[in-house]
Amino acid sequence: MREIPGVPYSFKDPELLTLALSHRSIGRLNNERLEFLGDSILNFVVSACLFDLRSDNSEGDLTRLRARVVRGETLAELALGLKLGDYIKLGEGELKSGGFKRNSILANTLEAVFGAIYLDGGFESCEKVIRHVCDPYIALLPEANELKDPKTRLQEWLQGHGYSLPEYTVLTDDGPPHRKVFLVECISQAAGIKVTGKSSSRRKAEQIAALAALDIIAENSKK
């Protein structure tokens, strides 16, 4: 096999493609080293693309945007679009447990395919394929600011409007030690905000409270 339908590249060395599709459950000859290589070239090509497209974004913004593209969840989605799961070679155990559908395996295999294309055809061929696969996703990325977590966004809004930082307080933490539920209050007196958030971790409860605060701010700004 020299090609995967949907990936616009034909391998000179078909064994490289076979290796890229071989999950480690199949044995010693597997795609893990190619995945290492492909991960790093993907990271670079996406970085260069975002650097061009988002000329107004800071280094921090670019880092957040890139993370959204190269995270396992996104890569698995892109791999699914290419029907990569139909071509992955798995060992018996993984095959029975439906490994070809697992996000991590799909994502890692896509990276390994990129690594194999780089070895087979060089940097520019690989760059073209990565752009072909990723550009539609990159075109739909939100504004960098929307990728910030709610606490950061709330803090930036308050500071931008001359208010002091919000205060987070744990009101209650009920339940046994390993299954606690945290109720956290978020207050900004100056901005007239007092909301709560509830979750199994204190950090998440704070984020949920911050999101509630941002909702109030958005509502008020419509009035």
C-alpha 21: how far from its chain's center?
22
Nearest to 197 by CA among 149, 143, 147, 125: 149
Please say which residue, 118 or 168, places its beta carbon nearer to a second copy. Answer: 118
Instruction: Kindly state whether residue 40 participates in binding a second copy, applying the rule CB under 8 A.
Output: yes
Instruction: Respond yes or no: is residue 206 known to be catalytic.
Output: no
The catalytic residue among 13, 15, 32, 39 is 39
* Strand ranges in 90-159 using DSSP code E only, listed in sequence order: none
d(CA 205, CA 223): 28
Q: How far is the CB of 211 from a second copy (least distance, A)?
A: 28
Options 10, 25, 63, 199; binder of a second copy; rule CB under 8 A = 63
Binding of residue 138 to a second copy (CB under 8 A): no
Per-residue contact track with a second copy, 107 to 126, x per CB under 8 A?
A: -----------x----xx--
Q: Is 39 one of the catalytic residues?
A: yes
* Burial class of 103 by CB neighbour count within 10 A (0 to 12, 13 to 18, 19+): middle
Query: Given the rule CB under 8 A, which of 10-18, 41-49, 155-163, 196-204 is the region that contacts a second copy?
Result: 41-49
Nearest approach, Cβ of residue 153 and a second copy (Å) = 21
Per CB under 8 A, the list member of 5, 12, 59, 160 interacting with a second copy is: 59
Q: Cα(176)–Cα(97) distance, rounded to whole angstroms?
A: 34
CB of 140 to a second copy, least distance (A): 21
Among the options 35, 94, 111, 127, which is catalytic?
Answer: 111
Among residues 51, 81, 189, 215, the one that binds a second copy under rule CB under 8 A: 51
CA distance 202 to 169: 10
Distance CA 211, CA 43 (A): 30
What is the rounded distance in angstroms from the CA atom of residue 89 to the CA atom of residue 91?
7
Residue 73 tokens read as 């969840």
Q: Would you count residue 33 as binding a second copy (CB under 8 A)?
A: yes
Which one, 43 or 196, has the nearer CB to a second copy? 43
| Amino acid at position 136, single letter | P
Q: Are 186 and 213 a contacting pair, CB within 8 Å?
A: yes
Catalytic residues: 39, 111
Q: Residues in the site for a second copy, rule: CB under 8 A?
A: 32-33, 35-37, 39-41, 43-44, 47-48, 51, 57-59, 62-63, 66, 118, 123-124, 127
